[in-house]
Amino acid sequence: MDTGVPRASRFVRAGRPHAIRVSFEFFPPKTAEMEQSLWQAIARLAPLSPNFVSVTYGAGGSTRERTHSTVKRIVAETMLTPAAHLTCVAATRAEIDAVIRAYTEAGVRHIVALRGDPPGGAGERYAPYPGGYRNAADLVAGIKCCGEQCGGLEVSVAAYPEKHPDSPSVAADIDMLKAKVDAGASRAITQFFFENDLYFRYLDRVCARGIDIPIVPGILPVQNFKSTRNFAARCGAAVPAWLAERFENLDDDAATRKLIAAAVAAEQVLDLVDHGVRDFHFYTMNRADLVYAICHLLGLRPHQDQISVRDEARGALPLPGGERVAVRGLGR
């Protein structure tokens, strides 16, 4: 039915008032092949000039090193603004503070503070590490304190429209978000969701609690439905029946799966835009094509003044059409 009211999503375009802002999340690679995939994804998405890009972080020492290495390379070789993830897991306050200092020395000024999952994975009860930060709110306070020595650090945190799996209720979960905001967090990024009504109801409850920082929706394009369903089960995110039906009988039809994935993601983000949302955080899974296509629908275009030819001797990864990631300076 034609209501006579034009859809906001038909008029989004970079540079216009109330333009769309995006950020992208990547994870540190474990193998040389995954390393190549990561940097191809970064190269593809960088010209869209995201607000920032975040890099996930695990509890293990080798994972921490991979995160730090990835963040340092982003600072050195791109014009992207990195946001490094940090958790409370398996480390003392002194050890975590040392990681924060290492990030700031590398030029990072934005940290995503998370409690983190128990080292044993799903099913293990979380317990604060002896001598460590108790929870995400405690970690935010520690980051803000460490940041005073370098002119300040921006801190983003997580929000859960369907509540964190360990929270007894949504209300208790929002209490924890309020504690994180009171400790100094200036942005919250949600766990991914597939029903937009969940997000809007959550915003109402957050607003009623007196929380006024941006609550940025986290969007997970469905690259692989079975993997997404398993991932959602671990995260406490619901997978609606209609979504499963859209991918039904497509296990051996990669081409159609890709088209359906694009349609599902487009439907979700355009509906959010029509309801006033202008900021999006994409969980890329280190894959660019689907995310790039969604951003194109949102009106984002490559910024030509931020695309330059990188020194091929430094291992540049070419973009489609001859584009290149802009160089921050050889030698945030």
| Domains of the chain, each with CATH number or no CATH | 19-315 (3.20.20.220)
Distances (CA, A) of 288 to 17, 68, 233, 245, 294: 26, 22, 24, 25, 10
Residue listed under structure tokens 């044993």: 120
Q: DSSP string covering 120-185, please?
A: T-TTSPP-PPTTS--SHHHHHHHHHHHHGGGT--EEEEEE-TT--TT-S-HHHHHHHHHHHHHHT-
CB-based contacts of 330, cutoff 8 Å, min separation 6: 76, 77, 311, 314
Q: Which two tokens stand for residue 160?
A: 């859960």
For residues 93 and 99, what is the distance between their CA atoms, to the nearest angstrom? 10
The low-confidence residues of the chain, meaning pLDDT below 70, are: 1-18, 58-62, 121-122, 304-332
Nearest to 311 by CA among 47, 80, 77: 77
For residues 235 and 324, what is the distance between their CA atoms, to the nearest angstrom? 35
CB-based contacts of 324, cutoff 8 Å, min separation 6: 43, 307, 308, 309, 310, 316, 318
For residues 115 and 139, what is the distance between their CA atoms, to the nearest angstrom? 8
In the set 25, 77, 154, 162, the catalytic residue is 25
Query: Hey, how many other C-beta atoms are within 10 angstroms of the C-beta on 212?
Result: 9
What pLDDT is stored for residue 144 in this prediction?
97
What pLDDT is stored for residue 12 in this prediction?
62
For residues 327 and 113, what is the distance between their CA atoms, to the nearest angstrom? 28
What pLDDT is stored for residue 311 in this prediction?
38
Beta strand segments in the chain, E:
21-26, 52-55, 82-87, 110-114, 154-159, 187-190, 215-216, 218-219, 279-283
Tell me if 100 sits within 8 A of 86, measured CB to CB: yes
For residues 128 and 85, what is the distance between their CA atoms, to the nearest angstrom? 18
Q: What angle do CA 38, 41, 44 make, to 5 degrees?
A: 150
Establish whether 245 is a catalytic residue.
Answer: no
Q: Which two tokens stand for residue 297?
A: 């629908």
What pLDDT is stored for residue 63 in this prediction?
73
What pLDDT is stored for residue 17 in this prediction?
45
Question: pTM (2 decimals)?
Answer: 0.87
Q: What is the DSSP letter of 9?
A: G
For residues 270 and 294, what is the distance between their CA atoms, to the nearest angstrom? 9
Rg (CA), the chain: 20
